[in-house]
Each structure stands twice: as C-alpha cells, then as structure tokens.
Amino acid sequence: MATIVDVAKRAGVSTATVSRVLNGSANVSDKTKERIMAAIEELNYNPNALGRNLRRMRTGLVLVILPSISNSFFSQVVKGMEQTGAAQSYTTMICTTRSNPDRERMFLNLVRNRQADGVILISSCLSAEELQSFCLQYPVVQCSEFIPGVDTPLVSIDNEHAGYDAAQHLLKLGHRHIGVIAARGTHSSDLRLTGCRRALAEYGIADCPTAYGNFTYQSGYGAAQQLLQEHPQLTAIFAVSDVMACAAMRAGQDLEHRVPETLSVIGFDNITMSYVVRPSLTTIAQPRYELGSAAMQQLIVQIENGKQSHNCICMEHTIIKRESTAAIL
Amino acid sequence: MATIVDVAKRAGVSTATVSRVLNGSANVSDKTKERIMAAIEELNYNPNALGRNLRRMRTGLVLVILPSISNSFFSQVVKGMEQTGAAQSYTTMICTTRSNPDRERMFLNLVRNRQADGVILISSCLSAEELQSFCLQYPVVQCSEFIPGVDTPLVSIDNEHAGYDAAQHLLKLGHRHIGVIAARGTHSSDLRLTGCRRALAEYGIADCPTAYGNFTYQSGYGAAQQLLQEHPQLTAIFAVSDVMACAAMRAGQDLEHRVPETLSVIGFDNITMSYVVRPSLTTIAQPRYELGSAAMQQLIVQIENGKQSHNCICMEHTIIKRESTAAIL
DNA sequence: ATGAAAGCGCTAACAT
DNA sequence: ATGTTAGCGCTTTCAT
C-alpha cells in the first residue's frame, strides 16, 4: 500500500504538495501537478481516509437508523436523504436496528466514536431520556416516526391532522360507525387516532372501536377480524398503515363484506401495495422524498454549525381517494 | 472532548495503561484499573475510533451494496449478514446504489480508503472488468444476484436448476404452452430461463414465448399482457420474480382468465406478497437468511486471512406449491 | 505492572 | 509555488 510519502518521493516533492493536489487546492504549478498525478498512477495510490479523518476529525458519513428495510415506506424517505446528503458531499448509510435497543446503541456509538458525523433516526427504540442525553452532545434529527420529548429537530407531517382528515373523508361519505386499527407504542399512531376521534366528536360520535396491530399484514388481519366481529355495525375502517388496511380489506371480504359496497377502508402511507390491490386503496400520502431531504438538510446544518434551535418542520399530507371508500348505501 | 491523554493524567498513569484497560488486556492491577475507570467516568470520555482505526488500519465496518431497500427480498438476506457479522464484531451498513454505477464506485472507494474493511455486493451495476480489478485488491463477496466472470466468492442458489424445477412443476401439471417473464441484464434471470428451456426441451417443446420486465409490477403487467395477447394458447406463465408473477396474475384476470383454472402462474422469491395475494402464489423460495449469513462468513475469512481460493457456495432452493398453479383441465 | 516513545497517514499553519 | 513540521488520538513494542 503506497502512502502519500511514497508519492511525494516519487514525484520529487513534499507531502504537502501532494496533499494540495489531492484536495484540489490552488497554487500548484501545472507541471508539478502532472508529475504528482503520474506518481499516483504508477504507484496505484489511494489516499488513506483514516489518516485524513483523524486529522480533520470528521468522516463525511451520516447514518440513517431504522428498524428494518422491509418497510417499503422508508425507501423514498431514504432516497431523499441520500440525494440531499450527496449534494453536500455526505455519504449516507443505512443501519437497521430490528427494534433492538442494543443495536441502536451500537450505531449511536459510531457517532460517539466519531466514525460518523451524525445520525437521522426513523422510529428509534430508545427511551426519551437516553436519546435526550445523546442528542445534547451529537448531531441528531428525528424523521417521520419519532419519540416525543427529545430536543432534536423533527421532520414529520401533522399526524393528528392527517388522522382527522382520514376520518372526515369517511364521515362525509355518510359513515357513522367507524373502527380504527392503530399501532401500540408509536407516537404517530397515537396522534392519528386522536385526530380521528376529534373528527368523530365533531359529528357527535363518541364511540370509536379500536384494535391494535404492529404494522404486519397478519396483525392487521387479526385486528380487523376482531373489530368486525365485535362491532358488526361498522361500515368503515381506518388503518394507520396501508399494509394493515390491505389486511383489513381481506379480512372484511373473508367475513362476507364487499369493499367498498358494505365496508369502506382507508389506509396510510400510499405504498405500492395500495394501488396494486383490488379494490385499490384510499390512503393518506406523505411527501416521503421531501421528508427525507429536509431531515438531511437539518442534520447537515447541525453538523456544520453546531446545535441549533430545535425547530420542527411539518410537511403537508394529502388524501388519495381510490376505490376502497364509497358513500354509504 | 476528552482524549486518552486527559484520562491518563487524571488517573496518574500513562496512556499505555489506559489503552490496556480500554482494550481489556490483562496485566493491569485492580486498583489502577479502578482509578482509570473513575477518570473515564468523570471526564465522560469516549475513545476516538479515528485514532484507533488509523493505528490498527481497520475499522470493523463492512458494507452491503444493493440497488434499493424497497425490494423486500433483500431484507432477510441482509439480516443474515448483520447477525453473522455482529457475532464476529463487524458492523454491517447498507448502501444503496439505485443502480447508479457512480454511487457504487463511491461506496467501493470507502473500502479503497480503508473506511470499511470489505464489501458484499448484491446485484452490482458495474462491469466484470471494473469489478475484477477491484476485487483483486480488496475483500469482496457476491451474494444472490451476481456478475459472472469475476473472481470473488459467490453465495447463491443454482438458478438454472431452479428455473428447471419451476418449469417441471408446470409440465407435470400437464401444461405444454408455457410463457416466461424474464428480466434483461440480470444473470440469475438468464440462468432461470435457460433451466426452464431445458425442462421444456425434455418434453420436446422448443417454443418458449418470452417477454421481459425489470422487476417492477408495471413491467410485469405489461410483459404478461404481451405474452397472453400474442400467444393466446398459453396456459401457464413462469415469472422470474414474485412481483412480476403477481402482476401476471392480475393481467391474466383482466384478460378474462381465471387463475389457476385457465392460467397457472409461478413466481420466484417467496416474498410476503406471494402469500397475501389471491390466489396465493406458487413460487421458488431461496434460503435468504442463510445466503446472507454464508456471504458474510466468506467476507470475514477474506478480511482476516487474505484472499482465498474463490469458492462458490450453492444453496438449496425449494418449490412452494400454493393456489396459483393447477393441473390443466 | 507500568511507562516511554515511535508512528499509523494525513493536513495545515507557517516559513521561504 | 513549495517545503518543513507539528500533531490529530490511539496502540504497541520495548524497557524497566
């Protein structure tokens, strides 16, 4: 492995001059530069970033921590982060926790160790206390799914309002018996449920049967079964994720419902599955790419300018009306 | 930021002794160790991995390079890599290329730079030549989807044989007019197609209508439409991915077919979607976790013991018979 | 059991 | 325009 010293010797210059060429700084004569380039070529030299990083005390790496890559919602969010990071010379890497706090701690330690410059959390599995003590010292942003009560910048939609809009859509179609499939322990689900209940309350409806899933198809199917069996009067279901909404459609069909004729279903996220299923799924869409992009922007500001006032960036959601919801007969 | 020097001063020892404690080496008296631990605590000291990495000339990081996280097939493969890596103190990070060769080069450069110890490629988008020159110098393994003619260890299934088995399944059900939805430019698809044709040939069938998609639902739908319209005698379709197989089922239904009564469909990969759709999809399953685990094992051997003879590890596939294939009427 | 000191590869402040 | 040199934080060999 050739080092900068080898290149310098071969080109008959000092390491400083080689370094100048490597970093594209001015003030190197063309012919010196040529000699150095030739030496680099001949020696098949690659700069060792370990030395550079130690010297500069930064790596240009940022981590995105999420539970799993199997959730297709994240794909576009991450793309927004990657492209925005790349535009400012940061390399984005994805770290999966599988909801294991020890794995998450291990990745945060990479930032403590200075092997990465900062971290974006999507759906952290640590406590607010633990996260808070970390984020006081290191650059952190939360995106989309978040832990409340932690002083990080947050980029998300207004989940309460989105839940309100989902319920409004059903209410305006005439539905008065609406069930919800929520997810325990995620703050966004709580907010969506709160918004849904606020909309129902405006129509004088106090009763909102709720069952819980964990974002898997199976759990959504079970939750829907439970709702429909315990509350046969239900004419509509709002699920806080598309996967669970699709499962609810199937569960409804298996219980002799027809969607949307006797059962309307609305989901959340607008993933590919939502327009592939039959009937296609009405859902709430988030600006995924923009969420990721804004989160990365916030992180870079923090890395380069230090801790900021912790603003919360709220993005617009939209409702996408498809075949799975219809006016009550 | 406290450094090892600060800790050493505070504990009244040399940095060497602090280093010994940090790395759990023996030969430090209990009371010295206690003083050092106390100093670390008081100073809120975190070892700076940049210094350590430079000194050791390794980082403990390995990269998994894949086109996108939206392909749910990869999720379990990556889990196998992560767990096997973690068991030997390697941290796995996921890097997405979005099929952009420049992004892939950027990640490979992280290995050239020594910011990562090695790399596992799933579905590289570089040429065999470029990959070959890289893998001569650095630890690389290919897993699952691969570029042929590159001297890396390869962990995969026997795709030709799997294609053969898929076709055999249809042939044994009595099908004689079988179409294929393949994917251009991926070697595994070519092999599956070859295997399929070999099975057909054994039954004296020379004709194998083939259309091409790019693994998206939309492309699969279009390919199936084309096949069924140009070859109305087809009674079965083999798609080289589940997503395209699901699209083929839908396309068939939209062309007045009933699956499996008038059209059998078999897919590949056994992703969640394959048992969620109706009818559930017959498919070929790969041992995903094991593929990932074995690939990581190979990589670690390479990192720690240098380049090996480049073995190819071939894992067993299985056919999962569900509702989408049936005997011809 | 502990310390002194060299040095990993690079950058950047300072000098010329 | 180019060179000299200190030093980033850590590990490790060699002494003692």
Higher pLDDT, B72 or B116: B116
Per-residue confidence (pLDDT) for residue B307, from 0 to 100 = 80
For residues A327 and B147, give the distance between their C-alpha atoms in angstroms, rounded to a whole number. Answer: 53
pLDDT beyond 80 at B109: yes
Residue boundaries of the structural domains of chain B: 4-47, 61-157+288-315, 159-286
Question: Which of 3.40.50.300, 3.40.50.720, 3.40.50.12710, 3.40.50.2300 is the CATH number of A61-157+288-315?
Answer: 3.40.50.2300
pLDDT band at residue B56, thresholds of 50, 70 and 90?
A: very high
Which residues, in sequence order, are bridge partners of residue A119?
A: A63, A140
Give the span between the Cα atoms of B204 and A117, in whole angstroms. 62
Nearest nt by C1' to A3 Cα: C9
In this structure, what are the phi and psi dihedrals at residue B93, rounded to the nearest 5 degrees? -125, 145
Q: Which residues of B touch A78 (CB under 8 A)?
A: 69, 96
Residue keyed to tokens 């009405």: A282
Q: Which pLDDT score is estimated for A171?
A: 98
- How close does chain B come to A248, measured CA to CA in Å? 12
Residue B1 pLDDT class (50, 70, 90 cuts): confident
Min distance A110 CA to chain B CA atoms (Å):
8
Residues of chain A with a CB closer than 8 angstroms to some CB in chain B? 46-51, 53-54, 57, 59, 61, 63, 68-70, 72, 74-75, 78-79, 82, 86, 91, 93-96, 98, 103, 106-107, 109-110, 112-115, 217, 246, 250, 272-273, 276, 278
**B 4-43, residues with C-beta < 7 Å of strand D:** 4-5, 15-16, 18-20, 22-23
Strand C nucleotides in reach of protein CB atoms, 7 A cut-off: 1-13
* pLDDT(B261) > 90: yes
CA→C1' distance for B10 and D16 (Å) = 23
Instruction: Point out the residue among B54, B61, B103 whose CB comes nearest to the CB of A51.
Output: B54
Q: What is the pLDDT of residues B187-201, one digit of tens each?
A: 999 999 999 999 999
Fold for the domain defined by A4-47: 434 Repressor (Amino-terminal Domain) (1.10.260)
**Residue-by-residue pLDDT tens, chain A, 329 positions:** 899 999 999 999 999 999 999 998 878 999 999 999 999 999 999 999 999 999 999 999 999 999 999 888 999 999 999 999 999 999 999 999 999 999 999 999 999 999 999 999 999 999 999 999 999 999 999 999 999 999 999 999 999 999 999 999 999 999 999 999 999 989 999 999 999 999 999 999 999 999 999 999 999 999 999 999 999 999 999 999 999 999 999 999 999 999 999 999 999 999 988 988 889 999 999 999 999 999 999 999 999 998 877 789 999 999 999 999 999 87
- pLDDT, residue B225, reads 98
Question: What is the C-alpha to C-alpha distance for residues A101 and A128, in angstroms, rounded to an integer?
Answer: 12
- B156 falls in which pLDDT band (50, 70, 90)? very high
Asked whether the bond before A260 is cis by omega within 30 degrees of 0, the reply is yes
On the question of a common fold for B4-47 and B159-286, the answer reads no
Q: Is the pLDDT of residue B309 over 80?
A: no
What is the per-residue pLDDT for A192? 98
For B18-35, b/e burial (b = at least 16 CB within 10 A) is bbbbbeeeeebeeebeeb
Percentage of chain A with pLDDT > 90? 92
Within 8 A by CB and 6+ apart from A130, the residues are none
Nucleotide D7 C1' to residue A62 CA (A):
26
Residue type, A75: S
The CATH superfamily holding the domain A159-286 is Response regulator (3.40.50.2300)
Least Cα distance to B275 among A276, A218, A219 occurs for A218
**CA dist., res. A225 & res. A286, Å (int):** 27
Please report, for residues A20, A298, B176, B324, the alpha-carbon distance to residue B182 in angstroms, rounded to integers and kept in the order given. 50, 43, 18, 18
The pTM assigned to this predicted structure is: 0.95
pLDDT in tens, B125-151: 999 999 999 999 999 999 999 999 999
> What is chain B's mean pLDDT, rounded?
96
